[in-house]
Amino acid sequence: MSKVAFLFPGQGSQFIGMGKELYERESVSKRIFDEADEALETKLSSLIFEGDAEELTLTYNAQPALLTTSIAILEKFKEAGITPDFTAGHSLGEYSALVAAGAISFKDAVYAVRKRGEFMNEAVPAGEGAMAAILGMDAEALQQVTDKVTEEGNLVQLANLNCPGQIVISGTAKGVELASEQAKENGAKRAIPLEVSGPFHSELMKPAAEKLAEVLDACELKDTNVPVISNVSADAMTEKEDIKAKLIEQLYSPVRFEETINKLIDEGVTVFIEIGPGKVLSGLVKKVNRRLKTIAVSDPETIELALQTLKEEYGNAE
C-alpha cells in the first residue's frame, strides 16, 4: 500500500475568499472558522472571505488565516476517516501539520501563529530586512556568497531550500541586495526580490523566537499520532519537547523543504496531498521528483476528487 503525506502551505498562498465555499457548505469546516473567530476575539473569517487583500497579507493576519483554512479542509479528510502516514508544512504550514498530527489543538495553534506573526512583524522595522529567491544556483555555492557578504558586515543567509535550483535568502536589506548581485555574478540565473514584510528564517528573527517560546509554554503540546517532518532538521519529530524546541528554532533557521520531500520519499511516501489554498508545494514536490503523485485540495470539488482517488487507488481509508 502506498504511503501518503499531508503537506500544508505557508505565507504567500493566501487570497480573499479562500475557504468560503467550504464554510457555506460543510458544517465541520464552518466550525473551524467559528473557533478561530472565538479564539482570536475578532472576525478573522470576515477578513478571509470578503476583506482587503493587503490587510490579509499582513503576517499576523495571513498566518492564522492560512492555518484556519487548511484545518477547515483537513476536517473533511478526518470526517472521511483518512489518516496520513506523515505530515509536513512549509514554515507556518508546520503548525497545520502539527494540528493534523494531534500535537497541538487548533485553538492553541491559531493563537500561537497570531502571536508568531506579531512577533515577526515587530522584530525588524519595515524596510530594514528583505528576502529574495535565487534561481539556478546550488546551495553550497550560494552559501559561500552569503557567508562572504555577512562577514563583510551585512547579514544574509539561506532561508528556504525549496527545490533544486530555487533557494530563498533572507537578511538585512543591504545584505540581500549584495548577495543577489554576487549570486548573479557567480552563475545564478535570476534573483527575484520577494514582497514580504520581514527577513524571515534569518538570525534577525531571534528576538521573535524568544517571545514565541513564552507563548508556546502556555500551549498544551503532545506527542504526535503520526510523524511530522521538521523544517529545521528534515527529520521526523514525534515528542512534545522536541516539537517546542524545533518551533522556536524554526523562526531563525532555514526551511529545508527539498530535504523534507526526500526524507518522505525515503520513508516510502508516493502520494502528497497539499491541504490549503494554492498549489505551491505540489509544484515544489514535482521539481524534486516528477514521478510523485501530488493532489492539491482547496475547495469541496478538489476535496472530493482527492478522497475518491485515495479510496480507489490507494485504499487509504479506515
* Residue 90 designated active-site: no
Phi and psi for 280 in degrees, rounded to 5? -60, -50
Contact at 8 Å (CB) between 64 and 44?
yes
Least Cα distance to 12 among 57, 72, 74 occurs for 57
Which of 45, 70, 180, 201 is catalytic? The answer is 201
Assess whether 91 carries a catalytic annotation: yes
Upper half-sphere CA count for residue 73 (Cβ side, 13 Å): 31
Backbone angles phi, psi at 229, to 5 degrees: -85, 125
Per the listing, cell 501539520 goes with 97
Of the candidates 91, 96, 230, 253, the residue annotated as catalytic is: 91
Q: Which three cell numbers stand for residue 217?
A: 509554554
Catalytic residues: 91, 201
